[in-house]
């Protein structure tokens, strides 16, 4: 079992000023996953893996995932802004599916 950190960012913003109001905060979700899931997601090959999802309105979300070091403490999170479904999709399907 491995502890992993999921980090949400919005690199593509379709807002009037091209910025995300949550920019600069840590949107984190922590999970403990099996070694099999680590292998399926390719996390043992890289320090960080990421998945991207784009909407037709110009917005795009990125979820990066990294294995936490043994004994590493969780950082304070600003939540996950309702995008928990992306983490669920990554863990279940290995990708973020179309909604």
Tell me: the pLDDT tens digits for 17-54? 777 777 788 999 999 999 998 888 888 777 668 999 88
Q: What is the pLDDT of residue 86?
A: 94
User: Domain residues for 20?
Assistant: 2-93
Q: How many domains does the chain have?
A: 1
- What number is the average pLDDT over the span 51-78? 90
Whether 6 maps to a domain, the answer reads yes
| CA-based R_g, the chain, Å | 14
Query: pTM value?
Result: 0.85
- For the beta sheet containing 27-33, the strands, ordered from the edge strand earlier in sequence to the opposite edge, are 27-33, 2-12, 60-67, 48-54
Give the span between the Cα atoms of 46 and 40, in whole angstroms: 12
Whether 98 maps to a domain, the answer reads no
* Residue 68 CB contacts under 8 Å (≥ 6 apart), including other chains: 2, 3, 4, 5, 30, 74
Whether 57 maps to a domain, the answer reads yes
């Amino acid at each position: 079992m491995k502890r992993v950190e999921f980090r949400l960012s919005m690199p593509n913003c379709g807002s009037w000023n091209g910025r995300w109001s949550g920019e600069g905060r840590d949107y984190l979700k922590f999970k403990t996953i099996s070694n099999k899931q680590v292998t399926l997601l390719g996390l043992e090959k890289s320090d960080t893996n990421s998945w991207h999802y784009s909407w037709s309105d110009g917005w795009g979300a990125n979820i990066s995932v990294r294995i936490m070091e043994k004994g590493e403490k969780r950082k304070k999170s600003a939540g996950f802004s309702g995008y928990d479904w992306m983490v669920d999709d990554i863990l279940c399907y290995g990708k973020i599916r179309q909604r």
